Chain A
Amino acid sequence: MTETKELRKTKYLNPYLGGVLLGIVLLSANFIAGRGLGASGAIKSTIVATMNTVAPSASENSAFVKEFQGSHGGNPMKTWLVFEMLGVLVGGFISGAIAGRLKFKVEHSPKITSRKRLILSLIGGVLFGFGSQLGRGCTSGSALSGMAVLSLGGFITMMAIFGTAFALAYFFRKNWI
């Protein structure tokens, strides 16, 4: 029993080592590209590209698209974050393959059904997607990368994200514990 528990405990990287490695990845991004990591920006690029293709005239008049194109000229899919996020899928897959964690499954607390978990995932995703646009970046782009360059906004967004999640944790405890 203890042995199995030990095995289960060691299947992930030590969190402090993981943190240092992630910090080095973030430092490399800043050193090479002069910018931090991100995630939600790649989704925004995809949405802008889709709007340009599906409804070009509406897209041309959209203030949202104009705002994006103002800071990213050219093809919205040929941006740093799109390539980075494609890399994340590859890197995550490689790590999962090495550790033997590749498996199609819905991860949820035994107290809720898979269906409920998926509905909550969808709602959480919608909120996070919307919030990341308002907050000019998500946990990666705004909070983590912002903190590394000492951005005031990065620290504020980080505190707002974690503070709210802590404040609401009690009400959603059945979904996780």
Chain B
Amino acid sequence: MGPLVVNELISENTNLFLAFIIGIAFGFVLESSGFSSSRKLAGVFYGYDTVVLKVFFTAAITAMLGLLFFSLFGWVDLNLVYVNPTYLTSAIVGGVIMGAGFIIGGYCPGTSFCGASIGKIDGMVFIGGLFIGVLIFGLGYNLWDNLYMAKDMGSPKVSESLGMSDGLFALILIIVALAMFTFAEWAERKFPREEY
């Protein structure tokens, strides 16, 4: 049955229309959860507001479990779902640069659009920065394409790499997330701040 587009159950134009609808839901949930506030987002790195950690991991686990169950019920063919490829070097270096951008700018790309949508000028300026950053990457592509293409590992699953089943990995991730949530609740009591 799923994915609907890959199995040609819906047309390409319907897919783009649904992308817009999914985007509305995405933006709505991000904003309602407080992801339009850079100080709230940055709070996770100081312990005074851990909404990022809670929302992020709950979402990842919900979607991961949903996909595993959908696959079990035969509702979605996981072989047709896009799995992000792993280029080890660029995944690490890119992530480190993004982490620096996060703590300096207070947003990530999705949340900056969310902030901009309710009038946050810092979010709009962050988006301007994103365009400059992507443009620099594009214009200087030849300078870093070796780094970009290094250590191509294909599209491995983390469960395969660790030599365990998808289900066992999911269970471990849930336990880790619950431990982090407990720690996060403790941190918020220890470093209280009023809401932004």
Contact = CB atoms under 8 A, between A and B. Distances in A.
Interface of A: 5, 8-9, 11-13, 15-16, 18-40, 43-44, 46-48, 51, 62-65, 67, 78, 80-81, 83-96, 99, 101-109, 117-118, 120-169, 172-173, 175-177
B45 to A, nearest CB: 4
Contacts of A43: 109, 127, 130-131, 134
A125 B2 contact: no
A37 B108 contact: no
Contacts of A86: 20, 23
Nearest to A171: B103
Interface string B128-148: 111111111111011011011
B165 to A, nearest CB: 11
Contact of B84 (A34, A85, A121, A153): A153
A31 B64 contact: no
Contacts of A67: 141
B28 A33 contact: no
Nearest to A128: B101
Given A147-B64, A168-B104, 13 more contacts: A8-B194, A11-B195, A15-B55, A34-B80, A40-B109, A88-B26, A92-B30, A118-B122, A124-B126, A130-B134, A139-B56, A139-B111, A167-B99
